[in-house]
Amino acid sequence: MPLLMLFSGIRNALRKDELGLEIMQISVPTIMALAADPIASLIDTAFIGHIGPVELAAVGVSIAIFNQVSKIAIIPLVSVTTSLVAEEDAADKLHTQPSIKEMLIKGSSVIEDIQLEVEENIEQTADPECSTSSTNIDRVVKFGHDKSYIPSASSAIVIGGVLGVLQTLFIIFTAKPVLNYMGIHSNSPMLKPAQQYLILRSFGAPAVILSMAIQGIFRGIKDTRTPLYATIIGDVTNIILDPLLMFTFRLGVSGAAIAHIVSQYLISLILLWSLMKQVVLLPPSFQDFQFRKILKNGFLLLVKVTAVTFCVTLSASLAAREGSTTMAAFQICLQIWMATSLLADGLAVAGQAIIASAFARRDYNMVIASASRVLQLGLILGLLLSFLLFSLLPFASRLFTNDINVLQLIGIGIPYVAATQPINALAFVFDGVNYGVSDFIYSAYSMIMVASVSIFCLYMLSSSLGFTGIWIALSIYMSLRIFAGFWRIGTGSGPWSFLKDQ
């Protein structure tokens, strides 16, 4: 059975061989970068929680709206960019002959001499792929330096900037209706702080989406340390500004929003400056942009992300309708649930980058080995997170609030937050594995089916069991996501048909 092949040799999952080291080099910085932002959000939540439960619940709803709207743009853009950049980078390394590339990187004082060497080398080679090699080499010669020429990188940055501006405008003009849909009506004390925070936070949307697009480029070229450094600098700035703006300058929830905006623009500027040193960001002509390819695959992932977003946003809406106490407890549990679960996204990124590169070279043995290793590591990570949350969360919950009623509800949510960690980890890693082989169509349609069942469960269970029912439904939702991943690879269908021949 193809699926069993992916979980064979699980005892060797932690081996420090070449594949294991490559996965760690990509995933560890990614995990740290992904963890940095949720940790900063948790710190924001802790500061806001000491203002009052109403403000905490209000900001919780606003953060849920902003994050889910952002994900609609970010996840398709980043995922597609990572795969396309990895494929283009692998193709460039495959087709460009090392001796010539090395000469070009070192530089030459006479460009004509370099072009002559290239032409002579190509004439001696009968490989039909030489035209691609010549094109890549000519572009490196044309730019006159050792920067990489990756058309998808420029395209992703342009698309990211446009999407960021559109998101800002969308939130500004629809903030109140969306908050009403989330259960915060005109007579609610949560409306004013929620609307104030959400509109202010929206001005940071261009920086958020642009920085994530650039991170997708860095992931594609397997450089995850640069995004880590930028994220740490930005989040430390956010943490420093939070108490200063919220309490010293008495800006309250507005201070938290401003601190976050400043940190996001700082991150995007650092990333853009670093990328300009490695990649040519201005293609020679408009035809070299890859808008069509990114938008085509991005639309498929947009369908998936919309389904995912609706499920999570609906759960927050159902919690908000239960009152500010329930929403405050749900916000804390959700932040912890997502912060820990996203750690598995580091493994997903590593798997996607390595698998996309190997799949472009038709190295199916590497595809299998990489998929197997990241899935095994995802399971181990999930079990470890589950143990840590069961042990520490009952004591750590007081860091977020002193309200006894909120703490009681958090105690109800802890078992679900902790127990679902292995399921969440595998679900995220399966996404990365399938993105690595560009299986975007299945990812979109399978998520529609998962979301349909999950939405039904959310409505039914929340109406009968309240807060507990919401978490049971979310557990079912993540379980269905992992089943979809198992089914695709286990049946050896779609891009995974090569598993039947192994």
Per DSSP, the three-state class of 318 is helix
Token pair recorded at residue 489: 């690879």
Q: How far apart are CA 492 and CA 238, in angstroms?
A: 46
Give the pLDDT confidence score for residue 96 in this predicted structure: 54
Q: Of 56-60, 92-96, 243-247, 401-405, which has the strongest mean pLDDT?
A: 243-247
Residue 139 is assigned to a structural domain of this protein = no
Mean pLDDT of 387-399: 85
Q: What are the backbone angles phi and psi of residue 13, rounded to the nearest 5°?
A: -60, -30
Q: How far apart are CA 16 and CA 373, in angstroms?
A: 11
Domain around 203: 2-8+17-93+148-501
Residue 122 is assigned to a structural domain of this protein = no
Q: How confident is the model at residue 75 (pLDDT cuts 50, 70, 90)?
A: confident
Mean pLDDT of 357-377: 90
Cα–Cα distances (Å) from 203 to 209, 213, 313, in that order, read: 11, 17, 21
- One-letter amino acid of 161: G
Q: How far is CA 416 from the centre of its chain?
A: 23
Residue 27 is assigned to a structural domain of this protein = yes
Q: How far apart are CA 419 and CA 94, in angstroms?
A: 44
Pick 287 or 412 by higher pLDDT. 412
Residue 328 is assigned to a structural domain of this protein = yes
Q: To 10 degrees, what angle do helices 467-490 and 421-436 make?
A: 40
Q: Are 217 and 79 in contact (CB under 8 A)?
A: no
Give the pLDDT confidence score for residue 131 in this predicted structure: 40
Give the number of other CB atoms < 10 A from CB of residue 285: 6
Q: Are 279 and 148 in contact (CB under 8 A)?
A: yes
Mean pLDDT of 97-111: 42
Pick 490 or 42 by higher pLDDT. 490
Residue 381's H or E segment, with its range, is helix 364-396
Residue 360 is assigned to a structural domain of this protein = yes
- One-letter amino acid of 185: H
Nearest-5° Cα angle at 344, 343 to 349 = 105
Residue 109 is assigned to a structural domain of this protein = no
Q: How far apart are CA 157 and CA 143, in angstroms?
A: 20
Q: How far apart are CA 387 and CA 425, in angstroms?
A: 14
Instruction: Return the sign of the alpha-carbon dihedral for residues 392, 340, 267, 374.
Output: positive
113-170 pLDDT, tens digit each: 444 454 454 444 444 443 433 444 444 444 445 677 788 888 999 999 999 999 999 9
243-272 pLDDT, tens digit each: 999 999 999 999 999 999 999 999 999 999
Bridge partners of 148, per DSSP, are 279
Per DSSP, the three-state class of 148 is strand
Residue 411 is assigned to a structural domain of this protein = yes
Residue 201 is assigned to a structural domain of this protein = yes
Of all residues in the chain, what percent carry a pLDDT higher than 70? 85
Mean pLDDT score of the chain: 83
Kindly calculate the radius of gyration of the chain based on its CA atoms and give it in whole angstroms: 24
SS3 content of the chain, % helix, strand, coil (to 5): 85, 0, 15
Token pair recorded at residue 226: 């640069």
Instruction: Return the sign of the alpha-carbon dihedral for residues 240, 243, 248, 249.
Output: positive
Nearest-5° Cα angle at 275, 200 to 354 = 105
Q: Are 27 and 428 in contact (CB under 8 A)?
A: no
Q: What are the backbone angles phi and psi of residue 148, rounded to the nearest 5°?
A: -80, 145
Domain count, the chain: 1
Q: How far apart are CA 108 and CA 116, in angstroms?
A: 12
Q: How far apart are CA 73 and CA 100, in angstroms?
A: 39
DSSP structural state of residue 126: -
